[in-house]
Structure 1
Amino acid sequence: MVNNFMSDWAISSQLIIDEAEKMGIKNRILSKKNNFFLLEKEGKKVYFKSVDCGLNSAFGLKISNNKELTYIFAESNDIRVPKSIYIDRENYNSINLENLDIDFPVISKPVNGAHGDGVSLDLNNFEDLKRGLDFSFQDKSVYRVVVQEQIEGEDHRIIVLNGKVEAVTKRIPPYVKGDGNSSIKELIDKENNNPLRGIGGDHDAPMSNIKVDSELEKYLEAQGYSMDYVLEKDKEIFVRQNANLSSGGLALDLTDIIHPEVKKQAEKIATLAGLGFCGVDFFCKDISMGIKKGGGAIIEINATPGIRMHHFPSKGKSRNLAKKIIEAIF
């Protein structure tokens, strides 16, 4: 059972193993380091690499692994995505940014990035844009960055399994609550000692540690705070701009209130791309409102979405995706 959250491998893998045991399905861990294991029932063997068990097509993987292809594919199928412009590393320094046809605010992010790495939000002018692009290109593996209209609203992860939405969470940035005595640094340290949090990038606990880096410090500074500031009692502030779970974000289950229009869009792109199991990231003000009324757009697709946030939401009903995945293959 998942009672040691700080295990050597991802909690998503352990959740599937635990559920398989409950269902009487044989299982064997082949490589903990690589999150590689086997389930077997009535002579049928299915290999897993964490949540990946062969439900996704090679075409779907190519689409989901490249944000530029995701947006082109979505637009060609009348699926709402943000207006985007692409900038290559090789000609970045020769571009006059002020000649770009963009309306602020925008965001910038690598087309081949993941886990929120290299992403900058709330870029409100060309000076901000230059800073965001410099930040994205700091990683030498980044060859192209997308500059994109910033969709107003909040970040939602929609899980689609075999063409049907099975779980929805709203992801919110990590925050701290003041006690009138502790600095923001001390409040973050205290929250990171929460036994339900673990090492951020490893996805080995129900929640990740709040990642402390220059990006966090710059975000605090933009709000008029520093790490040494003693936060007033009961005052709450976000300490990161990004809601990504790997850097400490929280998840609220909203599965029961997703609007049919939003559900249809998520199911459509997953099915057309040949993705039997994926996470569709959707930005909107209120996911219970339709797209026509409330707006919103698909931001990206993740072909290997972690399931821990759905099993262990910070608030709301737990969704047993491990069981649904197993039922889908046996």
Structure 2
Amino acid sequence: MNIAVRLLWNSAVPKMAIEEARLTKYKLFIYRDAGGNYDLNGVDYEILRRKGERGFLTPLFSYLTSLYASHRGKDATIDLDLIVHATRIIKGFTLFHDQFAGITGYLRKIFYDEDYAIYLHETSLTIKGLKYLLPRQLEKKILDHSKVIITNSYWNKQVLEEKGYKSEVIYPGCYPANKISYNRDKIVLSVSTWDSGRKPELYGEIAKKINGKFIMAGSWARKDTMDDFIARYGKYVEVTGKVSEEKLIELYSKASVLVRFGFNERGPGMGVLEAMGYGVPVVVNEGLGSKELIKQGENGYVVKDENEAIDRINQILENPYQLSKNAWETAKSLSWENHSKKLIEILHNY
């Protein structure tokens, strides 16, 4: 049994693949190291393209990727040469993280009649327009031939059902703290892999009106996007850029509230789960899959807009104790251990 992920960079997808491989003991195949700072001790892994290496066709693939996701930067390049090359390396039943890595599984199914599974983080099936015809058709082929489809939220499951696909839901996991501090700083935290599509300016506007310090943690897909944001909002927001796991844990341990907005982002958002694991109440909007984890007024709030977010954030800053305790309790059921047990159960049942 194997797990495959296209990129090793600082985002939820490779983190999930790594923790799954660590706990299941399945072999992990990483197509390209794009500079993620992860602890791979105890993980059986193989990297097909090391950091800084390029293929002959990399410039072409970077250009093609930019036609669909220019805001994600060159590190997000879909390396079609590696996807095809992996069909000669990865053998046996494999869980592929995302539909593009799943091309490898599809090719092995066609040529070797070998079954595979897909973990679908986001789907292109709902995106309209001629431009997205090829990604939609490609995703359909991969889903049609997959033995099992796993996804990260019931929102995504519903979308897939509407398109005719049965799927299983396994939320991403976290490592809940053994104990948490209730002596919190008035820090409002937001954690993500930042790009223009996640509308960082929204957080800058929120930061102007909260009664605490606002910190935006995490890598930025493009330096110019980060620089523009700092020039505009640096007075109100501390921008950390890429952070180590140790620093992230320190921030989670101190923060009083985490805020995260999504814009038809049906996945839960890894930062939301991790924050709850350290007792941080969360404020999310209706456009993020994390809304499924929120019990209104108990471990956080689901809000309609920026103004309601500001009100709820300031409310939590005044007294985060009970919400903090409840957020921690929620996270305990969403541990990586529970995630991996459910993953093994589903894969073996198929």
When normalised by structure 2's length, the TM-score is 0.27
**Structure with the largest fraction of strand:** 1
Structure having greater relative contact order (Cα 8 Å, sep ≥ 6): 1
TM-score, length-scaled by structure 1: 0.28
